[in-house]
Amino acid sequence: FLKTSSLLIAGLVLAACGKQEAAAPAASAAAPSAPPPAAAAKVYVVGTDAAYAPFESQNEKGEIVGFDIDVVSAVAKKAGIEVKFVNTPWEGIFNNLAQGDRDLLVSAITITDERKQTMDFSAPYFDAQQLIAVKADSKIAKFDDLKKLKVGVQTGTTGDEVVSKLIGKTSTAVKRFESTPLALKELESGGVDAVVADNGVVIHYVANNTGAQFKTVADASFTPEQYGLAVKKGNAELLEKINKGLADIKADGTYDKIYTQYFGAAPAAAVK
Q: Identify which of 87, 93, 88, 94 has the alpha carbon closest to the alpha carbon of residue 115.
A: 94
Q: Does 195 bind ligand ARG (CB under 6 A)?
A: no
44, 47, 52, 249: which one contacts ligand ARG (CB under 6 A)?
52
Nearest to 115 by CA among 258, 239, 243, 229: 229
User: Which residue's CB is nearer to ligand ARG, number 173 or number 182?
Assistant: 182
For 107-119, letters b (16+ CB in 10 Å) and e give bbbbbeeebeeeb
Q: Are 137 and 169 in contact (CB under 8 A)?
A: no
108 binds ligand ARG (CB under 6 A): yes
Among 56, 70, 120, 193, binds ligand ARG (CB under 6 A): 56
Question: For residues 147 and 166, is the Cβ–Cβ distance under 8 A?
Answer: yes
Strand, helix or coil for residue 198:
strand
Interaction between residue 70 and ligand ARG (CB under 6 A): no
Strand partners, 196: 132
Q: Which stretch binds ligand ARG (CB under 6 A): 36-44, 96-104, 108-116, 241-249?
A: 108-116
Min dist CB 110 to ligand ARG, Å, is 4
Q: Is 183 in the site for ligand ARG (CB under 6 A)?
A: no
- Site for ligand ARG, rule CB under 6 A: 49, 52, 56, 90, 107-110, 154, 157-158, 180, 198
